[in-house]
Amino acid sequence: MKLGCILTGILTLAPRLVLIFMWFFSDRANLVFEGIVIPLLGFLFLPFTTLAYILVWDPQSGVSGSAWIIVIGGLLFDIGTYVLSRYANRLNIQSTTKEQEAE
């Protein structure tokens, strides 16, 4: 297994585990989101962004001002995770193809 695959796996699982623990052991996520659809979609597709949004959300004003920079940083992490995953997959396919050609 290559380093890219391990790194991708860690980046994929870590924010989701934090979100699960946050939902089970804290009521913060329930205060931030009123329904289940948006946090579920965030959990599946944009976990870093969802986590950042929950962490910077304020009960009086929501997310405002410089807190949006942190949410955008979470979005960039999510995009980076998808890009890294695609890159690692492409490298894996190339190495598998080269091994098959050598046989």
Other beta carbons less than 10 A from residue 9's beta carbon? 13
pTM of structure:
0.79
Task: Tell me the per-residue pLDDT of 11-51, one tens digit each, with 9 for 90 and over.
Answer: 778 899 999 999 999 889 889 998 899 999 999 999 999 99
Is the CA virtual torsion 19, 24, 29, 30 positive or negative?
Answer: positive
Asked if 50 and 19 touch (Cβ cutoff 8 Å), the reply is yes
pLDDT of 103 reads 65
pLDDT at position 81 over 80: yes
Average pLDDT value over all residues in the chain: 85
Q: What is the maximum alpha-carbon separation in the chain? A: 65
By residue range, what is the domain housing residue 88?
3-102
Other beta carbons less than 10 A from residue 21's beta carbon? 10
Q: Which of 11, 14, 19 is nearest to 85 (CA)?
A: 11
pLDDT of 90 reads 74
Counting the structural domains of the chain, the total is 1
